[in-house]
Amino acid sequence: MTTPERPMSETPSLLSYYQAIERASADMLAAAKAGDWDEVVKLEGACVLLISQLKHAARGQPLAGDELKLKSRIMQRILVNDAEIRMLAEPWLERLDDLLAGRHKTLH
């Protein structure tokens, strides 16, 4: 699981959480491109945990100046990764929906 890297005694910075989430989203995109949806789901769980940790760490620890700019760039990359993952997932989800609904596509 992806977690912010830090020395044992040092509290992770907020940016380290954003960077870890970005790495996990890039890994999710790579797994989606490879069609490894089990890995995508696993990494999504890691992202949920990281986001929860970030929310907790962000209390009373605001970012300023250059950190805000970096956070914005990281968030943009995460959103691009997310959009690409969704685009790749749509056909897979449609096939799954058809399968669960008992609709079989036949080739003619």
Distance separating alpha carbons of residues 29 and 12, to the nearest angstrom: 25
| pLDDT given for residue 9 in this prediction | 36
pLDDT per position as a tens digit, 4-32: 544 333 457 899 999 999 999 999 999 99
CB neighbour class for 31 (10 Å; exposed up to 12, middle 13-18, buried from 19): buried
Residue 98: φ, ψ to 5°: -60, -45
pLDDT per position as a tens digit, 37-83: 999 999 999 999 999 999 998 887 888 889 999 999 999 999 999 99
- List the domains of the chain with CATH numbers: 14-100 (1.20.58.380)
Burial string for 70-95 (b: 16+ CB within 10 Å, else e) reads ebeebeeebeebeeebeebeeeeeee
pLDDT per position as a tens digit, 34-44: 999 999 999 99
> Is 4 within 8 Å of 57 (Cβ atoms)?
no
| pLDDT given for residue 23 in this prediction | 97
